[in-house]
Copies of this chain bind each other. A is one copy, B any other.
């Protein structure tokens, strides 16, 4: 059978997503776990594929891999979670033999911005990106087509951050981070709206690249759903979560003291 698994990871502790020798990557750690649990014989033999190669530093709540396997369905998530660190498998689906996770219905990215930014400015400028555009000024140069369709961009202020929730079928390399920096520059009054519309119309422009670590791949969706299995999440999730909350207490308490 062929299966698709959905998983989260903390990008701050990896050297990017894509497997490469001598450094710790998300894909590399996942493949090691698949080999160790004997879920696959090899990447090629079992047609292992990843949905999205997120940037170094970026995290994911719901990235997707697919591979062929004979492993027992009900035990896969738990077995993998016991063999990875800082990666959390939480969704399972049995898929068609020709399923390739790169071909998604929609990808959802979230970028975390300073909550002090001008919310209305961000909303005004983000609407410019919605719809079909040539994003050649919002990516690393590449040979292939740079036309993409943004389904929606939602701007909302939450407790600690402004969320920029961006949805579309597929994205170019660095695209979200380049869009984000243009939006921030507009919200800060550093560039006029016209600079963005002209860049989308083709005028060569380089707004620069926003940092990677505030970027999350929130979800990748297909024309089927994943079974969600909370029980397979390992105790390390709760422990790491608590550790991060305690670190947050340190910084917020200090901020109150000196503020």
Contacts and interface: CB of A to CB of B under 8 A. Distances in A.
Interface stretch (A117-125, A200-208, A249-257): A249-257
A258 B241 contact: no
Number of copies: 2
Contacts of A132: none
B249 A161 contact: yes
Interface residues of A, number: 39
Interface in A205-259: 213-214, 216, 218, 228-230, 233, 237, 240-255, 257-259
A90 B228 CA distance: 46
A59 interface: yes
Contacts of A258: 90, 228-230, 233
A104 B58 CA distance: 45
Interface of A: 8, 10, 12, 59, 61-62, 88, 90, 112, 160-161, 213-214, 216, 218, 228-230, 233, 237, 240-255, 257-259
